[in-house]
Amino acid sequence: MNALPRGRSIGWESDDDSEMRNAAAIVGLLVITSPLCLLRAQAPAAESRSVWDGVYTEDQAKRGEPIYHKECATCHGDMLTGGESAPPLTGGAFLANWSGLTMGDLFDRIRKTMPQSAPGRLTRQQDADILAFMLSVNKFPAGKTELYRQLEMLKEIRFESAKPAPKK
């Protein structure tokens, strides 16, 4: 767990909030007593995030671009517009397909079935970098942390096609 999202912390790391400290003590107790609660403790405590919250970095997208072109473009197209046997990875149909699901769902689909010649041949990091490139092409904003390569973390990022109304 070395890639926690920014803006969220696990209770016992907090040292300026007594309520949090109490919570941490309880969480700690539960961690000892129950493996199920360990999972619970690792789930995000802060509000969940979406692809509109800067969930990848520009550098990562740049890393993903050549991998995309090497591994994906032959079927999905140079411009991600798809081909005879592969769906587009940009545009309305793509966004509608995944909207309401999570980045974990999309990542899992890639891990299980892509590239078609040898599913799972790429590393998790390569797949995450390709996803970062896809997000950049689809004009989702870049941020300061890289997109995770852990499925369970990616499941915490909602994929939403519509830009949410500005906060505050």
Partner 1 sequence: MRERKPKRLDVLLFLFLAGFLCWPVVASAQFHPKDTEWPSYAADLAGTRYRPLDQINAANFSDLEIAWRIKTDNFGDRPEYKLEGTPLMVNGVLYATAGSRRAVIALDPATGELLWIHGEHEGKRGGAAPRQLSGRGLAYWSDGKEERILYVTPGFRLICLDAKTGVRIPSFGNTGEVDLKLNDDQDIFPDLITGEIGIQSAPVVAKDTVIIGAAFREGMTPKSMRNNKGYVRGFDVRTGKRLWIFHTIPKKGEFGYDTWEKSSAEYTGNTGVWTQITVDEQLGLVYLPVESPTSDFYGGHRPGNNLFGETLVCVDLKTGERKWHFQLVHHPLWDMDISSAPILADITVDGKPVKAVAQPSKQGFLYVFDRATGKPIWPIPERPVEVGNVPGEWYSPTQPIPSKPAAYSRNGVSIDDLIDFTPALREQATEIASKFHLGPVYTPPTMSKLEGPLGTLTMGTASGGTNWPGGSYDPETHNVYVYACNSCIEPIGLVPAPKEVSDINYVAGTAGRTVEILHGPGENAGADSPKPPRRPAGGGFVRLDVDGLPLVKPPYGTITAINLDKGEFVWQIAHGETPDVVRNYEALKGLNIARTGQETYNIGTLVTKTLVIAGEGHVTTTADHPRGAMLRAYDKATGKEVGAVYMPAPQTGSPMTYMVNGKQYIVVAVSGGPYSGEYIAYALPSTGE
Query: Which residues, numbered 5-64, are part of the site for partner 1 (CB under 8 A)?
Result: none
Q: What is the rounded distance in angstroms from the CA atom of residue 134 to the CA atom of residue 124? A: 15
Say which residue the tokens 């852990």 belong to. Answer: 150
Q: How far apart are CA 123 and CA 157, in angstroms?
A: 20
Is 41 or 108 the residue whose CB approaches partner 1 more closely?
A: 108
Q: Does 101 bind partner 1 (CB under 8 A)?
A: yes
Q: Which is nearer to partner 1, 54 or 87 (CB)?
A: 87
Residue 49's SS3 state is strand
> Of 21-29, 34-42, 50-58, 74-82, which part binds partner 1 (CB under 8 A)?
74-82
Q: How far is 90 from 139, CA to CA, in rounded Å?
A: 10
Q: Which of 18, 85, 166, 168 binds partner 1 (CB under 8 A)?
A: 85
Task: Kindly indicate which of the ranges 13-21, 31-39, 84-92, 142-150 contains the residues binding partner 1, using the contact rule CB under 8 A.
Answer: 84-92
Instruction: Give least dist CB 147 to partner 1, A.
Output: 18
**Candidate ranges 14-22, 33-41, 71-79, 150-158; the one touching partner 1 (CB under 8 A):** 71-79
Beta-sheet pairing, 49-50 with 157-158: parallel
DSSP state of 86: B
> 36-60 as b/e, with b when 16 or more CB fall inside 10 Å?
eeeeebeeeeeeebbbbbebbbeeb
Stretch that binds partner 1, among 15-23, 48-56, 65-73, 148-156 (CB under 8 A): 65-73
The residue (of 39 and 96) whose beta carbon lies closer to partner 1 is: 96
Helix axes 124-137, 58-71, angle to 10 degrees: 100
Residues in contact with partner 1 by CB under 8 A are 65-67, 69-71, 73-74, 78-79, 81, 83-85, 87, 90-101, 105-106, 109, 112-113, 115-119, 121, 137, 139, 161-162
